[in-house]
Chains A and B, each alone.
Chain A
Amino acid sequence: MSKHLAEPEWTLEIKPVSGWLNFHIKDVWRYRDLLLMFVRRDFVAVYKQTILGPFWFFLQPILTTITFTIVFGNIAKIPTDGIPPILFYMSGIVSWNYFADCLTRTSSTFVANANIFGKVYFPRLVSPLSNVISLLMKFGIQMVLLTGFIIYFKSNGSNVNPNLYILLTPYLIFLMGGLGLGFGIIVSSLTTKYRDLSFLVSFGVQLLMYATPVIYPLSALPDKYKWLVLANPMTAIVDTFRYAFLGAGSFNIENLIYSTIFMFVILSIGVVVFNRVEKTFMDTV
């Protein structure tokens, strides 16, 4: 036994991948500076790459809102709970976009970063986390746009009632980011093995939007389908968001708790799967 005392104390052991719950979460914290640098890189890159830069962030929701107003409001005549259609659609689009962007961006983590991941070790989770954070910039800019429209409509006497539930916004953002990240890293983990999944992502996100009250209010939904839409964890979030900023729709604490639990479950599954795949993906990508 005395021989063992002389053995050096190893700080790291590299072993074959085994088990699912072998985390290095502490590592993520140790690399928090890298997280900041990635976010900074994304900011600067967006700002510098195009002349119009952040202007695109305005353009996209405006054009989508116009399209939705014409197609769903004027042609299909879907009710908007008595709110000006432009505000109704824009609030839905802005909140939905943040979730959708988080999901799409993080879902390509492994494929997009294969080059860096193949050369240097750092906790891979840093990468999708930084995506979720840097997407806040786009969300923030679109919020400014939305706020501008709300003020304009309010001063023109429209039936818009922003209320104190606005204080819930950071929590809603947290839920959206968590859900987007959770789904995204699950998809990104699976795509390393089964490539075709990546084609499903943009398609799936689009379909999911129609199962979320983005272009219609919950109240306009036939009872037959209500359970389906309520099972979607994004429903309560978009609905609460709209209720807080426009005063229309509903606020239902139970639905929001459901979304919260859903978020934690999906995020946990995501982290476990991602953590497992990050060790073997170099062999499959």
Chain B
Amino acid sequence: MSQVIKVEGLSKLYRLGIVGRRTISEDVNRLWAKIRGKEDPYMKVGETNVRSVSGKSDYVWALKNINFEVKDGERFGIIGKNGAGKSTLLKILSRVASPTKGSVRLKGRVASLLEVGTGFHPELTGRDNIFLNGSILGMTQTEIKKKFDSIVDFSGVERYIDTPVKRYSSGMYVRLAFAVAAHLEPEILIVDEVLAVGDAEFQKKCLGKMHDVSEKEGRTVLFVSHNLQAIKNLCQKILILDNGEMFTLGQTEESLKIYNELVRGTKIDAHTEIGNITNRRGSGAIRFTSIEILDSSGSKRYKYDLGESVRFRVSYKVYKKMKGLRLIVALLSGLSRECLTLAYHKLTDVELIPGDSGEAEVEFTDLNIKPGEYPLYFELIDGGHNSNSKDVIDDLTAPLIIKGTGSYNGTSFYPDKPSGYFSTETVLNLNEIFKDEAVIRKAL
């Protein structure tokens, strides 16, 4: 196997604040430094990109010294928390943005899918859009003509192919768009979280297609996602980014283990002030100040046995006046991030004023959920469900792990995949024929 992607010392500097209003004096400063043969003064002050801490400089390294290689036919995953630099890396690889330092070398044709249906025009028919979108993605007319029937077939919207896409349902739209993308034949396919849109069936189809593309056709796939389960199923190797730097690079299993340690290592307590993180949903009227996951004896744990009870203890602080408070704790599916089960509790109906704080605990008394990893979702919202006064935490905590031990008998067949989500009591009744057979066997 030979290398098809080689990334060396890749770095990207971004300027924060109001973009597009670069002052001329800054440009002059830059030029002056260049004339004197000095380093760009604004590059020196660049800081590591930690979004939770407000920096002293306006410049941050979105990526810092990234090095990796991808081999022919490999399925390579990239994960990291929000703002870790995943998208920036993909943008550079797809030539949409330029690096500040370092280089990327590629072998073969690259197609990147940072979005499905880029450039679709609502007035054009499905047929026209296949040609338009195909050309944007780098196919030639002849190529598209050759694959046209198979694209239409794959999309399953043949009946509407001469209808403007503005009359399509959103499902049909995405199907058509993905059908075009699926028929690209690049040596390297770069896929961003396109899976975030579309239903579970569509997500599976995409994942399956990516698997096929690499397995059967020997193409290289680069896949970025938040969805650990999808990454786990698809990729052989994983690069983990954290604050724009390489955290680890290795085989999927080990990397994922390290990643979960990393996420768990983000201490969610008053000390790190999760209550002050700015880029969260809501206007900051209320913030979680800590989240703890405790077992029945009160000690912190992430791994639980089936049927055990789990307690989620949260503290919060109020920053703006709001009326009433509700707490939501939910378990999500690892694959599609759909909500599996949700607890909704009224904490109070009285008016809260800035400075108020409190603590609440929700206990799931009997976790009848099959073994697997389940991301957690926490939300605080006011009594009127006003989306301005809320706080959501859905990617800062490690997933809850349910272990398949003891008397549980449903996992051994598929050790890696959850065999459904809920554990239901079932009773096996053997019917007459089997009983008879057993008798006959015994007699023999």
Q: Residue A33 contacts which of B6, B135, B164 (CB distance < 8 angstroms)? A: B135
B383 part of interface (Cβ distance < 8 Å): no
**With contacts A14-B98, A49-B123 known, what are 19 further pairs, Cβ within 8 A?**
A8-B2, A10-B105, A10-B107, A11-B106, A12-B106, A15-B104, A16-B98, A16-B99, A31-B138, A33-B141, A37-B132, A38-B132, A41-B124, A116-B136, A118-B114, A119-B114, A122-B138, A195-B20, A285-B20
Choose the segment among A149-157, A161-169, A276-284 that binds chain B (4+ C-beta atoms closer than 8 Å): A276-284
* A264-285 interface with B by 8 A CB criterion: 279-280, 282-285
Q: Residue A283 contacts which of B15, B109, B121 (CB distance < 8 angstroms)? A: B15
Chain A residues lying within 8 Å of B322, measured Cβ to Cβ, are none
15 A-B pairs within 8 Å (CB atoms) are namely: A11-B107, A12-B106, A13-B104, A13-B106, A14-B98, A16-B99, A33-B139, A38-B132, A116-B119, A120-B114, A192-B20, A193-B20, A193-B22, A282-B91, A283-B97
A225 part of interface (Cβ distance < 8 Å): no
B96 close to A14 (CB less than 8 A): no
Per-residue CB proximity of A209-248 to B under 8 Å, as 1/0?
Answer: 0000000000000000000000000000000000000000
B92 part of interface (Cβ distance < 8 Å): yes
Question: Which of B107, B136, B138, B139 has the largest count of A CB atoms less than 10 A from its CB?
Answer: B136
Chain A residues lying within 8 Å of B193, measured Cβ to Cβ, are none
A14 close to B20 (CB less than 8 A): no
List the 8 closest pairs (A to B, CB-CB), nearest first: A121-B95, A34-B135, A14-B104, A10-B105, A37-B135, A279-B98, A12-B106, A282-B97
B241 part of interface (Cβ distance < 8 Å): no
Task: Knowing A120-B114, A193-B22, say if A45 contacts B124 (CB, 8 Å).
Answer: yes
Q: How far is the CA of A40 from the CA of B133 in the complex (A)?
A: 13
Chain A residues lying within 8 Å of B348, measured Cβ to Cβ, are none
Residue of B nearest to A279 (CB): B98
Chain A residues lying within 8 Å of B137, measured Cβ to Cβ, are 120
Q: Residue A9 contacts which of B104, B107, B123 (CB distance < 8 angstroms)? A: B107
B176 part of interface (Cβ distance < 8 Å): no
Chain B residues lying within 8 Å of A36, measured Cβ to Cβ, are 135, 141
Per-residue CB proximity of B78-120 to A under 8 Å, as 1/0?
Answer: 0000000000000111111111111111111110101100110
Chain B residues lying within 8 Å of A280, measured Cβ to Cβ, are 98
A44 part of interface (Cβ distance < 8 Å): yes
B118 close to A120 (CB less than 8 A): yes
A263 to chain B, nearest CB (A): 29
A284 close to B19 (CB less than 8 A): yes
Q: How far is the CA of A117 from the CA of B91 in the complex (A)?
A: 11
A121 close to B112 (CB less than 8 A): yes
B173 to chain A, nearest CB (A): 16
Chain B residues lying within 8 Å of A193, measured Cβ to Cβ, are 20, 22
Q: How far is the CA of A285 from the CA of B19 in the complex (A)?
A: 7
A32 to chain B, nearest CB (A): 9
B38 part of interface (Cβ distance < 8 Å): no
B137 to chain A, nearest CB (A): 6
B66 to chain A, nearest CB (A): 12
Q: How far is the CA of A9 from the CA of B107 in the complex (A)?
A: 7
B131 part of interface (Cβ distance < 8 Å): yes
Chain A residues lying within 8 Å of B2, measured Cβ to Cβ, are 8
Interface size on B, residues (CB 8 A): 49
Chain A residues lying within 8 Å of B141, measured Cβ to Cβ, are 33, 36
A75 part of interface (Cβ distance < 8 Å): no
* B1-39 interface with A by 8 A CB criterion: 2-4, 6, 14-15, 19-22
B144 to chain A, nearest CB (A): 8
B394 part of interface (Cβ distance < 8 Å): no
Q: How far is the CA of A183 from the CA of B363 in the complex (A)?
A: 67
Chain B residues lying within 8 Å of A1, measured Cβ to Cβ, are none
Q: Residue B96 contacts which of A13, A48, A118, A284 (CB distance < 8 angstroms)? A: A118
Task: Knowing A41-B128, A45-B124, say if A8 contacts B107 (CB, 8 Å).
Answer: yes
Per-residue CB proximity of A10-44 to B under 8 Å, as 1/0?
Answer: 11111111000000000000010110111011001
Chain A residues lying within 8 Å of B110, measured Cβ to Cβ, are 12
B121 close to A13 (CB less than 8 A): no
Chain B residues lying within 8 Å of A195, measured Cβ to Cβ, are 20-21
A272 to chain B, nearest CB (A): 16
B140 part of interface (Cβ distance < 8 Å): yes
Chain A residues lying within 8 Å of B91, measured Cβ to Cβ, are 118, 282
Question: Which of B94, B135, B141, B164 has the largest count of A CB atoms less than 10 A from its CB?
Answer: B135
Residue of B nearest to A24 (CB): B95
A129 to chain B, nearest CB (A): 14
Q: How far is the CA of A15 from the CA of B103 in the complex (A)?
A: 5
Residue of A nearest to B3 (CB): A8
Chain B residues lying within 8 Å of A122, measured Cβ to Cβ, are 136, 138
Q: How far is the CA of A176 from the CA of B93 in the complex (A)?
A: 38
Task: Knowing A17-B98, A116-B119, A195-B21, say if A283 contacts B106 (CB, 8 Å).
Answer: no
* A71-111 interface with B by 8 A CB criterion: none
Chain B residues lying within 8 Å of A118, measured Cβ to Cβ, are 91, 96, 114
Residue of A nearest to B139 (CB): A33
B22 close to A284 (CB less than 8 A): yes
Question: Which of A13, A14, A282 has the largest count of B CB atoms less than 10 A from its CB?
Answer: A14
Chain B residues lying within 8 Å of A10, measured Cβ to Cβ, are 6, 105-107
B20 close to A44 (CB less than 8 A): no
A16 close to B20 (CB less than 8 A): no
